[in-house]
Structure 1
Amino acid sequence: MDKDRSDPANHAAPRPLACILAYDGLCMFEFGIALEVFALPRPEFTTWYRHRVVAAEAGPLHATGGIAVAADHDLDVLREASLILVPGWRGIDTPVPEDLCEVLRDAHARGARIASICSGVFVLAAAGLLDGAEATTHWRYTDALAARYPQVTVRPDVLFIDNGAVLTSAGSAAGIDLCLHLVRQDFGAAKANVVAKRLVMAPMREGGQAQFIPAPVPPQRGGQISQLLDIVRANLDRQWSIAEMADHAGLSERTFLRRMSEVTGETPQKWLARQRVALAADLLETTDLGLDDLSQTAGFASQETFRRAFRSIRGISPSQHRKAFGGTLRRAG
């Protein structure tokens, strides 16, 4: 694999090869997400991905809207891939070519990570890469995916799922969250946040967040709650009760609970736990605070409560998270 020679300190660091699939009927937005994250030059970094756009079939290739797509590489290059991105497939009822399935299975067996955006999950499922595993896709397609591939456990209520070597995301925008998650795995939280900033978006949302809230809320009806959420985020070390949050919003507790569900799609307790875990994750990645101090700063009543909430939301322990994403700021917790 090529080495980054721009920085002597990174001389031996491998540069992951990200391969982005292109095919006739390509979904341009999902394809663009992958290009934006993995193919855009990053002069602010000394080490970054190499990338290839890979034709999954013989041309001519056309994307949504009739745009012609030319790819300089064919499926053979996937033998070298560290990461393969599968944008939205051209149709959930359209068969996936066996040669594409075969090369994806080979890449998976070799240890490459394979990630789908939106309906690209149907390509992974057709290749058998999701058998016995959890997966997600756009909420419009979850029933079809579950019916067509009963061996796959379909999660309709999350943004993305990381099964280790195989990852799936929900609708188009959730693909950005998944791509930032991959960057975070490869290069750490600081670089992922820089990429998010260049995209003019907040850092990656957690994969376990809901795909959509129960109903759209007009801006004028979200004002009180939105202001409250900003206050709570700025004071997460405070022990917020339902009554206190409702009082700050100027609402009865019953109305407050209903409005929280409308605006966030979650109960106040679940929303608050996510905010605290997000703060804790940032502290784990960017400081060497011990877990006692860190859990207090994030507003948890005890270190045990913190550990339990963190594992429930992130799927790993705080110490495992620090080891994976903490860079040089690591201390056993």
Structure 2
Amino acid sequence: MTAPIIAVLAFDGISPFHLSVPCLVFGADRTSLGLPRFDFRVCGIEEGLIRTDAGLSIMVPHGLAALEDADMVIIPSWKDLEAPLAKPLEDALGRAHRRGALIVGLCLGTFAIAAAGLLSGRKATTHWAYTEQLRALHPDISVDADVLYVDDGDIVTSAGVAAGLDCCLHIVRARYGAEAALRLARHVVLSPHRQGGQAQFIERPVAKSAKADRFTGALDAVRATLGETHSLD
């Protein structure tokens, strides 16, 4: 049986953590956990040395040709969110999508997929702090800021940072079964299914009122003078 081919796109300035997420889930031999042996490829627009935003350098062994026969293409993050994609990358993503590869955008990787024109008229998510920017740049996308990931069939997108792990685990569960996903989650000490969404992390302004401000002021005054006696009034 041919090993499923998974191509992960790395780029100059990438976060090592974002790149490590698909590497952790798909890059190691997990056959003992019931998963297939993947043909895992880290690729770039051009192969060679790239810098990360943590000061590390990584040698990328594959160019975009690695996408041509991939069963899954993962973009683990992105930079230059408002800049157009390099034409070779845009074309490679389009070809992969048309022939049926699963396209995955983790965190800001959603922006790259959107820039390639693959999310038009579809539902997607990204890091909550960038959802408004995604809406502004691509108003034809239905952006859900509250969820950890969106599975839209042949395209899957996730919220920020650690939600990429939730998303990759979901892909394992959907494609290779709940038992394999559970074993993998135990192995990497990860919750098999995290409850809730990223709405719990979104900074939301709290409406001020005269009563709320007076009460807050009273609490602050008491805290500052705890050695004194205070009446309830």
TM-score category of the 2 structures, normalised to the smaller one: 0.7 to 0.9
Question: C-alpha distance in 2, partners of 1:163/1:195?
Answer: 23
Q: Which moved more, 1:65-74 or 1:120-129?
A: 65-74
Would the aligned equivalents of 1:86 and 1:120 in 2 still touch at CA under 8 Å? Answer: yes
**CA distance change for structure 1 residues 185 and 66 in 2, over 3 Å: closer, same or farther?**
same
Among 130, 150, 173, the residue aligned to 1:184: 173
Number of residues paired by the alignment? 202
Per the TM alignment, residue 179 of structure 1 is displaced from its structure 2 partner at its CA by: 0.2
CA displacement, residues 94-113 of structure 1 (integer Å, 9 cap, x when unaligned)? 43212101100100000000
Report the equivalent of 2:44: 55
Higher strand share: 2
2:18 is equivalent to residue 30 of structure 1: yes
The one of the two structures with greater contact order (alpha-carbon pairs below 8 A, sep at least 6) is 2
Q: What residue is the counterpart of 1:210 in the other structure? A: 197
| Structure 2: gaps spanning 5 or more residues | 204-233
Give the structure with the higher percent helix. 1
The 5 A counterparts of 1:103-122 are: 103-122=92-111
Q: How does 1:1-333 map to 2 (within 5 A)?
A: 3=1, 14-45=2-33, 47-57=36-46, 59-205=48-194, 209-213=196-200
Q: Distance in 1 between matches of 2:202 and 2:16?
A: 28
Secondary structure of the residue that 1:121 maps to in structure 2? helix
Q: Which amino acid aligns with 2:12?
A: D
Q: Would the alpha carbon gap of residues 21 and 92 (structure 1) be closer, same or farther in structure 2, given more than 3 Å must change?
A: same
The residue type paired with residue 32 of structure 1 is: S
Tell me the distance in 1 between the aligned counterparts of 2:38 and 2:155: 19
Q: Deviations over 1:102-144 (max 9, x none)?
A: 1001000000001011001110000001000011000110000
Aligned pair in 2 of structure 1 residues 134, 25: CA closer, same or farther (>3 Å)?
A: same
State the distance in 1 between where 2:81 and 2:14 align. Answer: 13
Q: Distance in 1 between matches of 2:107 and 2:54?
A: 18
Q: What is the distance in 1 between the residues matched to 2:58 and 2:201?
A: 38
CA distance in structure 2 between the aligned counterparts of 1:178 and 1:133, rounded to whole angstroms: 18
CA–CA separation in structure 1 for the residues paired with 2:93 and 2:168: 19
Q: Secondary structure at the match of 1:193?
A: helix
Deviation at 1:186, TM superposition (A): 2.1
Distance 2:17 2:85 in 1: 20
CA 1:58–1:156: 2 relative to 1, 3 Å: same
Letter in 2 for 1:151: D
**Counterpart for residue 224 of structure 1:** none
- 1:121–1:136 CA contact under 8 A, matched in 2: yes
Contact 1:159 1:174 in 2 (8 A): yes
SS of residue paired to 2:73: strand
Q: What one-letter code is carried by the residue in structure 1 that aligns with 2:109?
A: G
CA contact (8 A) 1:142 1:156 kept: yes
- Aligned residue identity for 1:161: V
1: distance between equivalents of 2:129 and 2:123?
17
2:231 alignment partner in structure 1: none
The SS at the match of 2:79 is coil
1:198 Cα deviation from its structure 2 partner: 1.3
**TM-score computed with the length of structure 1 as normaliser:** 0.58
Post-superposition offset of 1:40: 1.3
- The normalised TM-score by structure 2 is 0.81
Cα distance, 1:56 vs structure 2 = 2.3
Cα-Cα RMSD:
1.8
CA 1:43–1:132 in 2, change beyond 3 Å: closer, same or farther?
A: closer
Identical-residue share of aligned pairs (%): 38
Looking at structure 2, the residues matched to 184 and 194 of structure 1 have their Cα atoms a distance apart, in angstroms, of: 10
SS in 2 for 1:213: helix
* 1:45, distance to aligned residue in structure 2 (A): 4.0
In the alignment, the residues of structure 1 paired with residue 151 and residue 201 of structure 2 have an alpha-carbon distance, to the nearest angstrom, of 25
